Amino acid sequence: MDAPVVEARGLRKRFGERVALDGVDVAVNAGEVAGLLGPNGAGKTTTLSILAGTLAADAGSVRIAGHDLSESAALARLSLGVVPQSLALYPSLTAAENLTFFGRMHGLTKSQALAATARLLEEVGLADRAHDVVATFSGGMKRRLNVACGMPHRPALLLLDEPTAGVDPQSRELIFGVVERAAAAGAAIIYSTHYMEEAERLCARVILIDHGRVVADGPIAQLVTLAGAESRLELTTRVALQAGWARALAGVRELPAAAGNGACAVLAVQSIERVPEIIAMAGEAGGGIVEFHLHRPNLQDAFIALTGHALRDTP
């Protein structure tokens, strides 16, 4: 089996009395999109900064495309592309000038940089604005160009820190397309985001980090199972159901319903195959079903179960 494109072991970082990273391991293979998720202050940005070589770890090691980042930083960075959350663009230059500049900075010849510029402007939907200055662009257009500027050299490892923050739906879809094509071409990608639906769509695997430690690392379905999340069924009946009405149903637990909503019952269900039976029983006991809603466990549920936080909470 080929070695991971990026492999970090035992990363530790302290800022004064605060421990930002406490032994973080990260490994991503070619063609893989790994989501990096965690509450605010969990250590995601510190991890990305160390992988990008802009921040030195207190302990641990990083290898990128076979090169040790501390010993062969220049070689490692040739294989690295970084898309920061803060826009890294020159507003007085045109879109094409920005891309060509970053291509040259990444070691491309002039002709290679121009070819990469044309290709990426097409990919991010900015070919018709190639010669307009960036200062005239909308926020979504700047975000798209920001992504493109991190990858003119077709990096083996691409680090993206919230690349769709505040963008419009069209720009988000274009950015998704760029990420998917880069992975299909063999890039290893670490994608940090606050949007669970993005991680569920793009990422083959998710790394959950909290309090400077990796609390879970694996495919989304595995993380949901690991968190023990159950499906939740909400029922509204014509007549309020009596407490304990579902006691005879195996694999079903009654949960507290919203205050003041006496005709609503909430159940934790281990197997959704039981749902038709539950609905029929509730309808009979409650004079008929007014409405029902089934919530299947997802990444958000797993995240809260594993960290105790919603994604944007501070620990």
- Here the CATH number for the domain that contains residue 53 is 3.40.50.300
Does one domain contain both 178 and 289? no
Structural domain contains residue 146: yes
Does one domain contain both 216 and 170? yes
Cβ atoms within 10 Å of 217's Cβ, excluding its own? 16
Residue 65 domain boundaries: 6-225
Does one domain contain both 172 and 266? no
Structural domain contains residue 42: yes
Does one domain contain both 245 and 179? no
Does one domain contain both 60 and 167? yes
Could you tell me whether strands 33-37 and 205-210 are parallel, antiparallel, or unpaired per DSSP bridges?
Answer: parallel
Could you tell me whether strands 231-237 and 289-295 are parallel, antiparallel, or unpaired per DSSP bridges?
Answer: antiparallel
pLDDT of residue 258: 63
Structural domain contains residue 118: yes
Q: How far is CA 135 from CA 93, 95, 113, in A?
A: 8, 10, 22
Structural domain contains residue 311: no
Could you tell me whether strands 6-15 and 59-64 are parallel, antiparallel, or unpaired per DSSP bridges?
Answer: antiparallel
CATH number of the CATH domain containing 268: 3.30.70
- Which residues, 6+ apart, have CB-to-CB distance to 1 below 8 Å? none
Contact yes or no for 208/301 (Cβ under 8 A): no
288 is written with which tokens? 């008929």
Rounded (5°) CA angle 247-257-294: 80
171 is written with which tokens? 């720009």
162 is written with which tokens? 């919230």
Q: What is the pTM of this model?
A: 0.82
Taking 80 as the threshold, does the pLDDT of residue 311 lie above it?
A: no
Structural domain contains residue 86: yes
For 83, phi and psi rounded to 5 degrees? -120, 100
Contact yes or no for 158/120 (Cβ under 8 A): no
pLDDT tens figures, 63-98: 999 999 999 999 999 999 999 999 999 999 999 999
Does one domain contain both 220 and 265? no
pLDDT tens figures, 32-55: 999 999 888 889 999 999 999 999
Does one domain contain both 146 and 290? no
CA–CA gap between residue 223 and residue 312 (Å, rounded)? 19
CA–CA gap between residue 40 and residue 147 (Å, rounded)? 22
pLDDT tens figures, 239-261: 888 888 888 888 888 888 765 55
CA–CA gap between residue 254 and residue 266 (Å, rounded)? 6
Structural domain contains residue 307: no
Does one domain contain both 147 and 22? yes
Does one domain contain both 25 and 109? yes
Contact yes or no for 152/120 (Cβ under 8 A): yes
Structural domain contains residue 315: no
pLDDT of residue 315: 43
Sheet containing 67-68: give its strands across. 18-28, 6-15, 59-64, 67-68
Does one domain contain both 95 and 119? yes
CA–CA gap between residue 315 and residue 309 (Å, rounded)? 7
Structural domain contains residue 116: yes
Domain boundary, last residue among 188, 210, 225: 225
Domain count, the chain: 2
The mean pLDDT of 8-28, rounded to a whole number, is: 96
Domain boundary, last residue among 202, 225, 248: 225
| Confidence band, pLDDT 50/70/90 cuts, at residue 208 | very high
Does one domain contain both 189 and 238? no
Taking 50 as the threshold, does the pLDDT of residue 217 lie above it?
A: yes
The mean pLDDT of 199-203, rounded to a whole number, is: 93
Helices (H), the chain: 44-52, 73-78, 95-105, 110-123, 139-148, 169-184, 196-202, 220-226, 275-285, 299-307
Taking 60 as the threshold, does the pLDDT of residue 262 lie above it?
A: no
Domain boundary, last residue among 209, 225, 241: 225
Does one domain contain both 235 and 216? no
